[in-house]
Structure 1
């Protein structure tokens, strides 16, 4: 254990900032409130405070920043009301496995006996069950230790948000200097189980891989590619995966599994071994009965999340870090399988329409975007077109929400851009999704985030209409919106296009620019 080097007594505030500096958490995402004022006023040198205009935006920005940096992010919310505003984003962060240390102000300790204004009655209960750990320290001098523990819990696998409630008068109280330490939690799966899996792989005549977000979380991209190539196994993406875990232009990439049993059975039929990497078995969105795994197939799951392993309803599960486990599996391989003579998936070209289709817009984005850039996506009605026309070919190159809740991608793109990735972050959004967190554009402008927001405006909640089939659905038309005008009102350069001839020039010009900018693409549903 390494002490900070100081022998004098610190204040709680000094001790906490020493901890944050030690862990590289020098960006604070917050929405200022009176019960947090002692923490963020007169910020120490080397720290920056990123303001969000609503608490859900704050958490989503921190989520995107944590995902892009692969490290913890620090969040400051305002008492019970602020945590309540942020709960949807906290749920998304929990499902995204984002290592967030979420703090919220509490009223002064002497006032708590009288139910004061702006206090939290049950601060540790409010964010449950979507934080890994929650605490309001019993004494002011316990706050630094609680923050230290929160950082470690947030980062240990499976990563996720934690919560610390801090009374406003705690910050100035004296305390001992913090203990600065490191905690790691990577471990490979059980060696005996791994040997049995290796034997199954060697004996399998037609194995297939199903990859999920855990592959990218655990840095197992290269190991997964090597495994697929050695066994010449087709690779499918698990239903509703929030990360890219295999290069989608690779000849072994087969596509994206739908979120129902019948289609999963159909796509995986004929394989004798299904190896699921970093994903649940399986995530379903709607009922369409089928047999999973298909008849004649064994199923084995390797996952870093014990909850996902315990929740699988079929197959054998191995719990461990994906990269360490796949590297260990490499030692058991026999000779490589002969290469396949054709790719597993062929991409088409967008079908013609009168105006601009989402497929056309996504194909143009793919042709123009930098190959090393990050894509953050939340366009539910265009998701199939994203899959078909915007292949992702790099680790850490794609983020979406694992929760299904809207409002994540716009501010998450801002948080990712503030991590300094070196390339423009491309945010692909629906018009309905954008309105859940439109205030995030202000934060992008205020902090000069290098984000290109592309909003595919189809005039409503088209994904929901698709689920309804031919039945009329109320409340799904929101066409009287100008997202470009809303962006400009927040100081963001924006343009709106509906002419196909303007699409490519507008996107080319936007990619050449820097800072926040927005292109609203009017989609022709016909």
Structure 2
């Protein structure tokens, strides 16, 4: 790589690549522009560049890759316009606690005082508050150290995205190499508060555990499962959990809490001690009063997120990593003698029909899907049907978005498939969601990924239909979406595509897709039944 001609010292570009190797940032997701070309010049063979056809896709791919590997991923965007295009999925990455190091091209320093074309005014402030840290270094020589600092912050819990803005003429400047450092990611919980929590749980007659995504994120799922079995406690998944919460075929699993105050209060009624592990208390989508908070029921929250701890309206928050907190709590608890809750009853399937009921689609997927497959979901209006008929039973087997922003899960599925080579990934996408980031199909084809894209096509924004019922809204425009030929769009990017209208066609198409070592899209036409998204746990 080039060095400064006069001094022989490493350039910023050389020092950055060396730092990336040290930090394990050897896959870069990007959509390039002119201000990034000095960085991309003579690209090294040992660092993989994954091209996305839109900036939002690049961020979501990096998010999926980072969450699946448990390591920070690097993303390279183009100036202010690139960040602008990517902001929806950057917000999602922030809410997902995805550790990303984002570098953004900036116009040359000498041009910045003249308000140049592609110049980003206050580049470091543009993405805030949805990055943990951002900087445009005052000197070119500081760029490598800034990237290393961004990595440390991204990987300190709670994880999240960071950003460094880099003027395009910085890459050729002289720089000092980055000195490797080790920084602990995790903090331990307060032993005194863990003891108080253990005493309350041991005394309870009907305890319940509400599980959020931090448990799976930290690899603490087996510890959580042992704790639940020691307590013989019911287990529910927190509203809007963006990862698996608990094995859904386990007899202690009791379902999902809906994101409404009344539904949460109803779902937790009758329990006399609530332990929230790795989730906020609670994430709501509609207004209202949650009677749980004034009921006197003890609520304990284990989290590594100080903001989530501070936002809890009631109870005791204990800050610390799940991998420390859960074993520490279990060590203080005797084996419970109380009877375990009855396993939840299986959900009935509606009868066969055309168009297909969504429930039958997910039941068919359950029968056909390989045991080691990973589900990446963005079909909000069909999430209740998926939760009832496509149980997730393996840690690391499910991803979705915590933000509610659309356009995440298709490119995220590409990132997950890259992180899990050889494993089948199933992207379950609503037809409305599909059009936000359909460009990700091209990347999946170019990479030859074993990705099944299943479009649950109900001809519109089903979540908006449901939410209109919640709010009592009638006749809202812009909800119906007609005339989209998803198999044709997929074929235009080199991807196999099939339209599916009957259960027999679905079974055949799933078998073909799961046997195909390349991406394949299934456009599954389902009925337009409007589910209620905010009922109590089921």
Residue in 1 that maps onto 2:506:
503
Residue in 1 that maps onto 2:496:
493
**What's the offset of the Cα at 1:310?**
0.2
What TM-score comes out, normalization by structure 1 length?
0.96
Query: Contact (CA 8 Å) 1:12, 1:140: kept in 2 or not?
Result: yes
**What's the offset of the Cα at 1:525?**
2.6
Residue in 1 that maps onto 2:534:
none
Which residues of 2 match residues 284-303 of structure 1 at below 5 A?
284-293=284-293, 295-303=295-303
Query: Contact (CA 8 Å) 2:252, 2:341: kept in 1 or not?
Result: no
**What's the offset of the Cα at 1:355?**
2.8
Counterpart selection for 1:472 from 457, 471, 475: 475
- Partner Cα distance (1:339, 1:71) in 2: 40
- Partner Cα distance (1:294, 1:126) in 2: 40
**What's the offset of the Cα at 1:121?**
1.1
Residue in 1 that maps onto 2:380:
380
Which residues of 2 match residues 99-248 of structure 1 at below 5 A?
99-248=99-248
Distance 1:193 1:341, change over 3 A: closer
Residue in 2 that maps onto 1:334:
334
User: 1:83-133: CA deviations, max 9, x gaps?
Assistant: 111111100000000000011101111111211111101101110110000
- Partner Cα distance (1:229, 1:80) in 2: 51
Which residues of 2 match residues 305-344 of structure 1 at below 5 A?
305-338=305-338, 340=340, 342-344=342-344
**What's the offset of the Cα at 1:41?**
2.3
**What's the offset of the Cα at 1:8?**
6.4
Query: Contact (CA 8 Å) 2:293, 2:313: kept in 1 or not?
Result: no
- Partner Cα distance (1:486, 1:434) in 2: 11
Distance 1:294 1:521, change over 3 A: farther
- Partner Cα distance (1:117, 1:258) in 2: 47
- Partner Cα distance (2:22, 2:144) in 1: 13
In structure 2, the residue corresponding to 1:346 is in which secondary structure? coil
1:65 aligns to 2:68 (yes or no): no
Residue in 1 that maps onto 2:29:
29
In structure 2, the residue corresponding to 1:505 is in which secondary structure? helix
Residue in 2 that maps onto 1:279:
279
1:517 aligns to 2:520 (yes or no): yes
In structure 1, the residue corresponding to 2:419 is in which secondary structure? coil
- Partner Cα distance (1:111, 1:266) in 2: 60
**What's the offset of the Cα at 1:521?**
0.4
Distance 1:318 1:351, change over 3 A: farther
Q: How many matched pairs? A: 520
**What's the offset of the Cα at 1:290?**
3.6
**What's the offset of the Cα at 1:341?**
7.2
Query: Contact (CA 8 Å) 1:254, 1:345: kept in 2 or not?
Result: no
- Partner Cα distance (2:409, 2:78) in 1: 22
- Partner Cα distance (2:381, 2:260) in 1: 18
**What's the offset of the Cα at 1:288?**
4.1
**What's the offset of the Cα at 1:264?**
1.3
- Partner Cα distance (1:337, 1:71) in 2: 40
Residue in 2 that maps onto 1:4:
none
- Partner Cα distance (1:421, 1:342) in 2: 39
Query: Contact (CA 8 Å) 1:9, 1:177: kept in 2 or not?
Result: no
Which residues of 2 match residues 336-355 of structure 1 at below 5 A?
336-338=336-338, 340=340, 342-355=342-355
What runs of 5+ residues in structure 2 fail to find an aligned partner?
1-6, 530-538
Deviates more, 1:159-168 or 1:476-485: 476-485
**What's the offset of the Cα at 1:330?**
2.1
- Partner Cα distance (1:337, 1:502) in 2: 50
Query: Contact (CA 8 Å) 1:269, 1:294: kept in 2 or not?
Result: no
- Partner Cα distance (2:349, 2:294) in 1: 32
- Partner Cα distance (2:234, 2:370) in 1: 27
Which residues of 2 match residues 19-58 of structure 1 at below 5 A?
19-58=19-58
- Partner Cα distance (1:489, 1:364) in 2: 28
In structure 1, the residue corresponding to 2:509 is in which secondary structure? helix
Query: Contact (CA 8 Å) 1:65, 1:73: kept in 2 or not?
Result: yes
User: 1:426-454: CA deviations, max 9, x gaps?
Assistant: 10000000000011111111222221100
1:482 aligns to 2:454 (yes or no): no
Residue in 2 that maps onto 1:371:
371
**What's the offset of the Cα at 1:296?**
4.7
**What's the offset of the Cα at 1:294?**
6.7
- Partner Cα distance (1:61, 1:487) in 2: 18
User: 1:453-491: CA deviations, max 9, x gaps?
Assistant: 000111001111122237222111112101111111111
Query: Contact (CA 8 Å) 2:60, 2:93: kept in 1 or not?
Result: yes
In structure 1, the residue corresponding to 2:169 is in which secondary structure? helix
Which consecutive aligned stretches of 4+ in structure 1 deviate over 4 angstroms post-superposition? Answer: none
Query: Contact (CA 8 Å) 1:212, 1:243: kept in 2 or not?
Result: yes
Residue in 1 that maps onto 2:393:
393
Query: Contact (CA 8 Å) 1:450, 1:515: kept in 2 or not?
Result: yes
Residue in 1 that maps onto 2:82:
82
Residue in 2 that maps onto 1:428:
428
**What's the offset of the Cα at 1:347?**
3.2
In structure 2, the residue corresponding to 1:180 is in which secondary structure? coil
Query: Contact (CA 8 Å) 1:495, 1:519: kept in 2 or not?
Result: yes
Query: Contact (CA 8 Å) 1:392, 1:398: kept in 2 or not?
Result: yes
What TM-score comes out, normalization by structure 2 length?
0.94
**What's the offset of the Cα at 1:378?**
0.2
- Partner Cα distance (2:283, 2:67) in 1: 21
Query: Contact (CA 8 Å) 1:484, 1:518: kept in 2 or not?
Result: yes
Distance 1:211 1:345, change over 3 A: farther
